[in-house]
Structure 1
Amino acid sequence: MQLYAQTRARRCRQVLADLTALVLVALAVRFALAVHEGIMLLAEPGRKVEDAGGSLASGLGNAGDAASNVPLIGGVLKRPLQSAAEAGQGLSDAGQSMQDVVGRVADLTAFALIVFSVGLVLVLWLPPRVRWIRRSARIRELHEAPGGADLLALRALTGPVKDLASVPVPAGGLADAWRRGDERAIGDLAALALRQAGLRG
């Protein structure tokens, strides 16, 4: 299986296309990760709320424990402090939930950007590469098959006229030479068809 053309110009174009696709994929991944980091900045308020709520709950819990040691009214003092500590813990939990939501949004956004960008690059780059690989394999098989040179010569004759300028023209013209079965003309035309496909005979 021929992955790259044998002619220099086409091979250079193919390598350039492959490198471009690779760079675009790398840039898409980097951009998605940058977007992920940007979205995660939105989790900072959640972290602050979690820290503040945790500190408040801890402080009020300690104050409630200390108040419970006050004779006679310790239990009465502890209850409101305990309720406030629970509210502080709820605030801390809300901050953690906010961070979780932001993290999920950041992950999904980055994943969607990577899938879309990489998919777009693959859709634009992969089909032409696969088509060329298949076509070059068929042309190579045709060239090696009996009578294949005649068919390749016909292909060259029906291709771009400007390419025929590189083929020596026998007396009577190339088409007449092909019809007469002129082996040299057929060989030259078949070689041209291979070059047009990026192959060598």
Structure 2
Amino acid sequence: MWYAQHPGRRVRQLLGDGAVLLWTALWAVAAVVAHRLITLAALPTPPHTRTRIPLLGPRMNGTLHDVARAGDRLADAAPAGQAPFQALALLAAIALFTVPVGLLLALWLPRRLRWTRQAAAARELAATEDGRELLALRALVRPLDELARFSDAGPGRLAEGWREADPAVLDALADVELRRLGIAAH
């Protein structure tokens, strides 16, 4: 299960996943553009005309050309062979992609995988009587305001019903935990 069944949570998950994909694609494009600009700067006779890079504003375009001019200075200082300069261009492009994308993935991926594991475990637990009791206990240890938001009964009544193993209260609490995770209660 990759996405919640609750529409609100599913939309947030889809928007988050889409944002991660867009972020990754933008940095991939930036890395390719940087690689091409550095490679262009390594040419023995760089063109004298200033080409406009599509989809970038004039300010970013100027900044990237400044980077290319810095590459020109490196190329002038480089030996006649272009292999070291090509390796530098490749390393710069890889670093430009991996640093921002890696930082985002380090923050986003563990949370996304944790929800997936929790949702799968909750669905499995919901299928058994003992599992529903465990889900009910898990719901009870949530903050009281969160518990009150999902249930009509007061927290004291819910705790008492859980202690007495009232099947209706156990089911209600288990459903609260399932809804918190965005899973449809059975």
* TM-score bracket for the superposition, by shorter chain length: 0.7 to 0.9
Cα deviation code 1:58-77 (max 9, x no counterpart): xxxxxxxxxxxxxxxxxxxx
Q: Shift of the alpha carbon at 1:159? A: 0.6
Q: Which amino acid aligns with 1:181?
A: A
Give the whole-Å Cα distance in 2 for the aligned partners of 1:198 and 1:18: 16
**What residue in structure 2 maps to residue 107 of structure 1?**
90
Cα deviation code 1:18-50 (max 9, x no counterpart): 001101101111111121122123223x247xx
Which runs of 5 or more residues in structure 2 are unaligned?
47-77
Q: Which amino acid aligns with 1:20?
A: A
Corresponding position: 1:26 with 2:25? yes
Is the deviation greater in 160-169 or in 126-135? Answer: 160-169
**What residue in structure 2 maps to residue 8 of structure 1?**
7
Q: Which amino acid aligns with 1:151?
A: L
**What residue in structure 2 maps to residue 184 of structure 1?**
168
**What residue in structure 2 maps to residue 138 of structure 1?**
121
After superposition, residues 153-192 of structure 1 pair within 5 angstroms as: 153-165=136-148, 166-169=150-153, 173-192=157-176
Task: Decide which of 119, 138, 142 is 2:102's aligned counterpart.
Answer: 119
Q: TM-score, normalised by structure 2?
A: 0.72
Q: Which amino acid aligns with 1:43?
A: A
The secondary structure found in structure 2 opposite 1:10 is helix
Q: TM-score, normalised by structure 1?
A: 0.67
Q: Runs of 4 or more off by more than 6 Å in structure 1?
A: none
Q: Shift of the alpha carbon at 1:150? A: 1.5
The secondary structure found in structure 2 opposite 1:147 is helix
Give the whole-Å Cα distance in 1 for the aligned partners of 2:160 and 2:129: 21
Q: Shift of the alpha carbon at 1:96? A: 9.0
Q: Shift of the alpha carbon at 1:160? A: 2.2
% same residue: 40
Q: Which amino acid aligns with 1:190?
A: A
Give yes or no for contact 1:47–1:99 (8 Å, CA) kept in 2: no
Give the whole-Å Cα distance in 2 for the aligned partners of 1:118 and 1:167: 40
Give the whole-Å Cα distance in 2 for the aligned partners of 1:115 and 1:186: 47
Give yes or no for contact 1:3–1:133 (8 Å, CA) kept in 2: yes
The secondary structure found in structure 2 opposite 1:97 is coil
Give yes or no for contact 1:43–1:98 (8 Å, CA) kept in 2: no
Corresponding position: 1:200 with 2:184? yes
Structure number with greater Rg is 1
Q: Shift of the alpha carbon at 1:194? A: 0.4
Over 3 Å counting, the alpha-carbon distance change for 1:164 and 1:101 in structure 2 is: closer
Is the deviation greater in 115-124 or in 128-137? Answer: 115-124
